Structure 1
Amino acid sequence: MEVLAALNLGDFAHYFSKMAMFPVFDLAYYIVSILYLKYEPGSVEVSRRSPVASWLCAMLYCFGSYVLADILLGHSPIDYFSNNSHVVLASAVWYLIFFCPFNIFYKCVAFLPVKLVLVALKEVVRVRKIAAGVHHAHHAYHHGWFIMVLTGWVKGSGVALMANFEQLIRGVWRPESNEIMYMSFPTKASFYGAILFTLQQMHWLPVSKSTLIFLFTLFMAVLKIFMTATHSHGSPFAVIEGLVCPVLFGSAAGGDNHHNGHDASHHAVAAPAAPPSPAKTKEELNEGVRKRKAKKAE
């Protein structure tokens, strides 16, 4: 804490934690979220065939975390849609990304330097949502540590945990891409962040909430910018998980020692291998689709 005081982060962190998210940060969040929706295979065709289904998927990409958190806390899942300004803003972004003439808006926000800025702003919103989720759960369940972690995790993970439901709306069914089975980096980071904010909420972590928000936002933004700029698909947690998981669970993270022998060969022949993670698959598809579209445009 002396280090933080020496750096005079207290006042800055307090100011940062009080910054309004609407409209600038929320706009960036909606742009990046719907941009990832457009990267999904078949999403453009769905938008032409059924704009209503495409719009609903876009709203889930933007507000899925609120919907799922409200369900967990016993509220109406459509409560957040009473925020007309947010829904209108997200709808405008959806229309511009999918239907703007000559794909001008899409090309602008998908331009890497612009995208890096938007990705960083999105992480600001993500961390704020994790903190808010833990705070709201604490009000409803004062000593429900697991509920606080779960709600914060859901708030930060967004539509990732609802991916299979969103796929059904688009007429796609990919149960092998279950986010809980193959967690992406944002989902894992949201889970770890929810634990940290729960510890802080219960006064077991000797740091102020505003400082934790600032530090965790910095951590998330830097990593996401680096991963986006370098098209990296690996998880920064892989090294730590590789050391801890064999000790606690007897196998590496996401792996199974039993698959190293005969069963590995059997599954390789009997069934296609499961994707390493939805995030990796999505990022690869993102870049592939973007490059193919760029070539067609030329």
Structure 2
Amino acid sequence: MDVVEKLSGRFCNELLPSIKWQLELAYIISMVMLAVKSADKAWHKNNLFYSYLKAVFFVRGADIILAICTGDSPIEHIADNKTLCTTALIWWLVLFVPFDIFNKILNIEVGDMKPLLILLEVMACARRVVAVDAAISTSLKRFPKSYISILIGTIAGNGGLVVSSVFGDFSKQISSPGSTRLAFFTACAIGLTKILCPNAISSCVVLACCCVFVVTLQILECFDHRLEVFEPLYDIIKKVVVTCDLVKSKND
């Protein structure tokens, strides 16, 4: 156990902080690409300002929803000039760089794999896990022992589908069933551990284990393989979340 504690401590206190910006950059690239895919390129080229704003809101979408839920300022999460400039650069590279070089580089194939895209997804996934952990820690300081931290962690990990009945198309566009599933399970693992047995298991061990487990699941999904260990539980949660949509469709 001491070995696990030591390795987890190094992972959380040394490795993650040292690659924090790289993880954030990977997340920004993945979200900008998602924003670009939400409309055809002709629309982006004819609506440059709206297109850029869309990219910004996609990058900080989870933070904006979370701020609304917790009563903070949504603008605070998009006011950082470093984020605005980085998003602008990635937005230009994805849409307007000559000869579409940026996308061609990301889509380089080695055999049947696209290693750069896989690396991008893995790093973005690790960033979401870190965001879940940070959001849960902040939530438990404000609302000690409250299970609402699991919901807050899920949203922070880009699991926007859990609040799609409230935030509608925006939360559906910035999230996916896969990201919501991983965010929810990560939030459950970290949140329940910190609430029920904070002294039995260190937060570093939980975060390290969640990172390894979730990243492994993400890699398997990149190769069209998915472990369905938690599918029954997730299906129950999903049915509860979309109850409003089901009722509305029946009434229509």
Is 2:4 the partner of 1:4?
A: yes
Q: 2:135 aligns with which of 110, 133, 148?
A: 133
Is 2:215 the partner of 1:221?
A: yes
- Output one character per residue of 1:151-190: Cα deviation in whole Å (capped at 9) or x when no partner: 1111002666567137xxxxxxxxxx6999xx61210111
- Report the Cα distance in structure 1 between the residues aligned to 2:205 and 2:17, rounded to whole angstroms: 13
Is 2:51 the partner of 1:58?
A: no
Give the partner amino acid of 1:191.
F
Q: 1:114 to 1:101 in 2, by over 3 A?
A: same
The equivalent of 2:11 in structure 1 is 13
Is 2:35 the partner of 1:37?
A: yes
The answer as to whether partners of 2:186 and 2:214 remain within 8 angstroms in 1 is: no
The equivalent of 1:87 in structure 2 is 84
The answer as to whether partners of 1:30 and 1:90 remain within 8 angstroms in 2 is: yes
The offset of 1:17, in angstroms, is: 6.4
The offset of 1:129, in angstroms, is: 0.5
The answer as to whether partners of 2:160 and 2:180 remain within 8 angstroms in 1 is: no
Q: 1:163 to 1:20 in 2, by over 3 A?
A: farther
Q: Give the number of aligned pairs.
A: 232
- Secondary structure in structure 2 of the residue aligned to 1:214: helix
The structure with more radius of gyration: 1
The equivalent of 2:187 in structure 1 is 194
Give the partner amino acid of 2:183.
S
The offset of 1:70, in angstroms, is: 0.8
- Report the Cα distance in structure 2 between the residues aligned to 1:211 and 1:163, rounded to whole angstroms: 36
The offset of 1:62, in angstroms, is: 1.0
Is 2:204 the partner of 1:210?
A: yes
- Report the Cα distance in structure 2 between the residues aligned to 1:178 and 1:64, rounded to whole angstroms: 10
Matches within 5 A, 1:253-264: none
- Report the Cα distance in structure 1 between the residues aligned to 2:122 and 2:17, rounded to whole angstroms: 15
Matches within 5 A, 1:1-298: 1=1, 4=4, 8-16=6-14, 19-20=17-18, 22-40=20-38, 42-111=39-108, 112-146=114-148, 148-157=149-158, 161=164, 164-165=169-170, 184-204=177-197, 206-228=200-222, 230=223, 232=224, 235-237=226-228, 239-242=229-232
The offset of 1:71, in angstroms, is: 0.8
Q: TM-score, normalised by structure 2?
A: 0.79
Give the partner amino acid of 1:4.
V
Q: 1:95 to 1:22 in 2, by over 3 A?
A: farther
- Secondary structure in structure 2 of the residue aligned to 1:82: coil
User: What is the alpha-carbon root mean square deviation over aligned residues?
Assistant: 3.2
The offset of 1:223, in angstroms, is: 1.9
Give the partner amino acid of 2:231.
E
- Output one character per residue of 1:202-235: Cα deviation in whole Å (capped at 9) or x when no partner: 252532112221111111222212222x2x2x75
The offset of 1:201, in angstroms, is: 2.5
- Report the Cα distance in structure 1 between the residues aligned to 2:215 and 2:140, rounded to whole angstroms: 26
- Output one character per residue of 1:97-152: Cα deviation in whole Å (capped at 9) or x when no partner: 01111110111123311111111111121011001111111222123222x11111
The equivalent of 2:243 in structure 1 is none
The offset of 1:66, in angstroms, is: 0.8
The answer as to whether partners of 1:130 and 1:155 remain within 8 angstroms in 2 is: yes
Give the partner amino acid of 1:165.
F
The offset of 1:78, in angstroms, is: 0.9
Percent of aligned pairs sharing the same letter:
20
- Report the Cα distance in structure 2 between the residues aligned to 1:91 and 1:149, rounded to whole angstroms: 32
Q: TM-score, normalised by structure 1?
A: 0.67
The answer as to whether partners of 2:27 and 2:127 remain within 8 angstroms in 1 is: yes
Moved over 4 A (4+): 158-163, 177-180
